[in-house]
Structure 1
């Protein structure tokens, strides 16, 4: 009986050690992310993105597809309306919780917003799962990899508010900043 108890205690100790290592790794990644955000974004919700994103004044023309594969030009998504484009990535450690925070924040806003969520084309399964999780509340599209460099995004998640003429009014990674800027219709 003593051997079984010893083995059980050893197993529990190994499990706890493993979980602590995982928690420390996640904590380090989270601290790095917070450090990047605090150094590169103005906490007063300004549009200070120097060093975080290359500032592109006008959204370039590109084509996306919906999750069923139908091709759509970005100009059709914008459709002469102020539009929020949200670039997410399945490899981003914080995209899920960041978007969930954003989703909760926009529940307070009335009126229909033109919000488009975009994933890279090789992440179709993730995009479909995202669409299902949010019960189709958000339009989900897939873009080709080169769009990221054309738009100037080098960090995820990226929120872009684009006006009807395709000028980029705001580009940020901060869901609170986006929510405060959502006074568009």
Structure 2
């Protein structure tokens, strides 16, 4: 059940992220055509394109955290047993989840503040709570992905190959 829900969430976030990125590309192409063919650029295009690309990246934080695709140094990994590797991976996921929760809370405070003051962007006049909301969304999604990953590492009975990182094992398990 949890696996199906997680897969559904990933597919929806992929769709939203891809849509935001595609919209950014279309707006940019229209702006280039307007600027160089008709000498009339779309005045808000650069700002909106930047925001859409930021949102498309932030929406992927759930997938990256769930799959453990974040950057990590694995200097001690060859020295650890499989069981110790799993506990280290669990500790990192749980710590990352706690940090993401903390950052999500602070991002919420910022979003609430800019909403209270009715701040908008300079050119497109987009309410800044939608702009800063991308950071809030990224940390909330990363927190949820971290929780799911922590639970998965805690209850999983899959054995880890000592030569492969946890992420490779997860990918191999998903492809079979």
Q: TM-score, normalised by structure 2?
A: 0.27
Higher helix share: 2
Higher strand share: 1
Q: TM-score, normalised by structure 1?
A: 0.26
